[in-house]
Amino acid sequence: MSNISYKDAGVDIDAGNAFVDAIKKDVKSTFDSNVIGGIGSFAGAYALPTGYKEPVILSATDGVGTKLRIAIESGKLDTVGIDLVAMCVNDLICNNGTPMFFLDYYATGKLLPQNASAVVSGIAEGCRRSECALVGGETAEMPGMYSEEDFDLAGFAVGIAEKSEMDMVANVKAGQILIAMPSSGIHSNGYSLARKIFFEKLGMSLDTEFEGKPLLDTLLEPTRIYVKDYKANKDKVKALAHITGGGIVENLPRVLPDGIRAIVNKDDIRVLPVFEFMGQYVDNEEMYRAFNMGVGMVWVAEPEDVDSILSATDGYVIGKLENGDKGVDLI
């Protein structure tokens, strides 16, 4: 009887080594002057930026959800990495954190270097867009846990903030203005519902034409990353809310203090066509709880700073803050 190798058990160490070699260029393209060392050590090292009086380290973790299923089924894998980074760094900036570095976890039934490399190229692109370094990651080949071409992703972002600037809720008060930062599409929330509408209820396919292009392109449009906009307007933004699962009604209250109510004018929201289409099959209230509806972030600003922010971004006004019970009114 011959001996059994690790490869016989479904784990190919050589494929893992080939994958690491394939991604080195993409990973290094994200490095900045604070990265210490390179790829291949047991841990990534990053020097703390200078200039902070009381530096605080922030962290955020997330995944891509069932958007990943669409990527796997279509074989288009080069954009979900952008989503992964976006979901983490967009959370960091809501606590006034500047992203420093990112790590990823890729778990699969069978490591296909070309697939994994496509995913990491997207992660590297997300890191470049958010000006943070991809300092490490883990690839796990787990036959028996995942079918051969299935995989899952998790991401971990670390940022830095001045301690005195972290409590953004303390900046929020009645009379301030709500600015919508447009989303690029569905982003990375609500895909279980979207998939049910498009594929189960309507019987559409990824190749079905939607708004002049294949439905796949709309469904895999990467999540927008707001880091550069935030950095350019940091001194004028009093608070930021990342509009993810739960929509505006559940995420905006996270930056409101007690006694402040947000008044959002629904007619002012520039709803994207994909949401208008899905809204034919879903109650309006449910749409606003499941999806971002075209608003990827809400910024809170003083009235005198609004024009400056609008001239520097593609944001637009959707409401204001008033005294009242903490919460959101969509009127």
Cα–Cα distance, 132 to 58 (Å, whole number): 14
User: Among 166, 187, 219, which residue terminates a domain?
Assistant: 166
Amino acid at 289: R
In total, the chain counts a number of residues equal to: 331
Residue 4 lies in a domain: no
Q: Cα–Cα distance between 69 and 328 in angstroms, integer?
A: 33
5 in a structural domain = no
**248 and 139 inside one domain:** no
Q: What is the CATH number of the domain that holds 281?
A: 3.90.650.10
User: Which helix H or strand E contains 186, and what residues bound it?
Assistant: none
Residue-level pLDDT at 23? 81
Q: What is the pLDDT of residue 57?
A: 97
Beta carbons within 10 angstroms of residue 278's beta carbon:
22
Instruction: Mark which of 166, 193, 228 sits at the end of a domain.
Output: 166
SS3 141: strand
Structure confidence at residue 27 as a pLDDT band (50, 70, 90): confident
Tell whether 232 and 254 lie within a shared domain. yes
Residues 158 and 90 in one domain: yes
Same domain, 104 and 197: no
The residue from 131, 166, 201 where one domain ends is 166
| Segment 64-115, tens digit of pLDDT | 999 999 999 999 999 999 999 999 999 999 999 999 999 999 999 999 989 9
> How far is 222 from 121, CA to CA, in rounded Å?
13
Residue 189: DSSP 8-state = S
Note the pLDDT of residue 144: 87
Confidence of residue 1 (pLDDT cuts 50, 70, 90): low
Q: What letter represents residue 148's amino acid?
A: E
**Strand 260-264 relative to strand 316-323: parallel, antiparallel, unpaired?**
antiparallel
Instruction: Tell me how far apart the alpha carbons of residues 116 and 167 are, in angstroms, rounded to a whole number.
Output: 38
Task: Judge whether 6 lies within some domain.
Answer: no
pLDDT number for residue 24: 83
User: pLDDT tens across 298-322, in order?
Assistant: 999 999 999 999 999 999 999 999 9
Do 196 and 125 have their domain in common?
A: no
Containing domain of residue 146, as a range? 13-166
Predicted confidence (pLDDT) at residue 21 exceeds the cutoff of 80: no
> 196-206 pLDDT, tens per residue?
999 999 999 99
Q: Based on the fold, state whether residues 100 and 246 are members of the same structural domain.
A: no
| Rounded-to-integer distance, Cα 87 and Cα 226, Å | 10
Looking up residue 58, the CATH number of its domain turns out to be 3.30.1330.10
Amino acid identity for residue 307 in this structure: D
Query: Residue 3: is its pLDDT beyond 90?
Result: no
Residue type, 60: A
Residue 299's pLDDT is what?
98
8 pLDDT above the threshold of 70: no
User: Does residue 303 fall inside a structural domain?
Assistant: yes
Please indicate, yes or no, whether residues 178 and 321 belong to a single structural domain of this protein. yes
As for how many domains the chain has, the answer is 2
pLDDT number for residue 42: 84
